[in-house]
Amino acid sequence: MKNDIRRLREEAGLSQAALAEALSVSRQTVNSLENGRYDPSLPLAFAVARYFRTTIEEIFHVDA
């Protein structure tokens, strides 16, 4: 599943480690999310959307 986490993170001027700490996950998880290697659980997806003050649909895009 593609997502805009990297773009949103860079726009916010955050490192992967800082975002990971904010979301209470590991830096590796943030890296895997950004590279599309790992799809988050629903609670984590909501946490990401809440952190960036947007909706899940604005961040995550189902592969065509």
Partner 1 sequence: MSTPETARSLSDARFLVALGCGLVAVGVMWLVFTLAGQPDTATGALVGGLAVTALAVVVRWRAQRRGPSADGGFGRILLGTADERDNAILTASLAWVGLAAFLANAIGLAAVALGADGSTVIGAIEAFLIAVLVGAFVAQSRRT
Contact residues: partner 1, CB under 8 A: 17, 21, 24-29, 32, 37-38, 40-41, 44
> Distance between CA atoms of 64 and 48, rounded to whole angstroms?
22
The nearest distance, CB 6 to partner 1, in angstroms, is 17
Of 6 and 27, the one with the shorter C-beta distance to partner 1 is 27
> Distance between CA atoms of 25 and 29, rounded to whole angstroms?
6
User: In this structure, what is the dihedral angle of CA atoms 8, 28, 2, 60, given to the nearest 10 degrees?
Assistant: -60
The nearest distance, CB 29 to partner 1, in angstroms, is 4
The nearest distance, CB 35 to partner 1, in angstroms, is 10
